[in-house]
């Protein structure tokens, strides 16, 4: 009986969190940002990862509350620790952009979160890692190309352009101008300005 009661409590707690998160989304859509933020915060403080991510967004963009990147990172961290892929991307990116002197452990933690997000199919994480590995202090071109191709195949035109650059310059792959041209054309057709300029040249 105790176990059943505990399970019911957990279900009830989760249902309230889901309902609060939905209320928050509807409030935001209706332009009631303060109410939306309050709903997200109530659900987030109950441990609901989707609401934690939404609170992070509110703090990052100053919607319904004061803009505060450190608080945004804290909520992204909570959601990321619960395997929320988009939170993993945002928290990993935050760690990379706000690491004093690029501390090694913080850098590794950031990359772990970004790679989890990329593996979960978050195109932004794939594109970010692709560029990071291509342009890092110690470039890992093959690894970078792998992530750029994942993002390009998910429809990211900027990554498709970068793949073209890789083929044109032989970065992480054998130089192949015909293949570079194919990627530039695909990126240009998707509206990428850099690829369009490259084709004009």
Provide the CATH number for the domain formed by 123-200 in this structure: 1.25.40.10
Task: Read off the DSSP letter of residue 156.
Answer: -
Q: Where along the chain do its domains lie?
A: 123-200
Query: Residue 1: what pLDDT?
Result: 62
Instruction: Kindly report the number of other CB atoms within 10 A of residue 123's CB atom.
Output: 18
pLDDT digits (tens, 9 = 90+) for 129-139: 999 999 876 78
Collect contacts of 192-200 with beta carbons under 8 A, ≥24 apart.
192/157, 192/158, 192/160, 192/161, 194/158, 194/161, 195/157, 195/160, 195/161, 195/164, 198/161, 198/164
Confidence band of 13 (pLDDT split at 50, 70, 90): low
C-alpha–C-alpha distance, residues 101 and 42, integer Å: 36
User: What pLDDT, on the 0 to 100 scale, is given for residue 139?
Assistant: 82
Q: In whole angstroms, what is the distance from residue 54 CA to residue 37 CA?
A: 8
How many other β-carbons are positioned within 10 Å of the β-carbon of residue 113?
Answer: 26
* Mean pLDDT lowest among 13-22, 90-99, 161-170: 13-22
Q: What is d(CA 92, CA 12) in angstroms, rounded to the nearest whole number?
A: 32
Q: Does the predicted TM-score (pTM) go above 0.75?
A: yes
pLDDT at res. 169: 94
Q: Which helix (H) or strand (E) holds 198?
A: helix 193-200
Structure tokens at 125: 């994480």
């Amino acid at each position: 009986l105790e176990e059943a009661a505990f399970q019911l409590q957990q279900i009830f707690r989760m249902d309230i969190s889901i309902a609060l998160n939905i209320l928050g989304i509807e409030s935001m859509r209706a332009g009631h940002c303060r109410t939306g933020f309050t709903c997200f915060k109530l659900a987030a403080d109950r441990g609901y990862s989707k609401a934690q991510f939404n609170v992070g967004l509110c703090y990052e963009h100053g919607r319904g509350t004061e803009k505060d990147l450190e608080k945004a990172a804290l909520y992204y961290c909570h959601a990321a620790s619960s395997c929320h892929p988009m939170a993993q991307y945002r928290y990993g990116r935050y760690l990379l952009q706000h690491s004093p002197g690029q501390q090694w452990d913080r850098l590794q933690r950031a990359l772990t979160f970004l790679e989890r997000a990329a593996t979960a199919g978050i195109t932004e994480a794939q594109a970010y890692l692709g560029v990071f590995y291509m342009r890092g202090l110690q470039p890992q071109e093959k690894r970078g190309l792998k992530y750029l191709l994942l993002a390009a195949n998910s429809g990211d035109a900027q990554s498709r352009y970068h793949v073209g650059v890789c083929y044109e310059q032989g970065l992480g792959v054998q130089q192949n101008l015909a293949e570079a041209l194919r990627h530039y054309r695909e990126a240009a057709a998707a509206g990428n300005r850099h690829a369009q300029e490259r084709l004009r040249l």
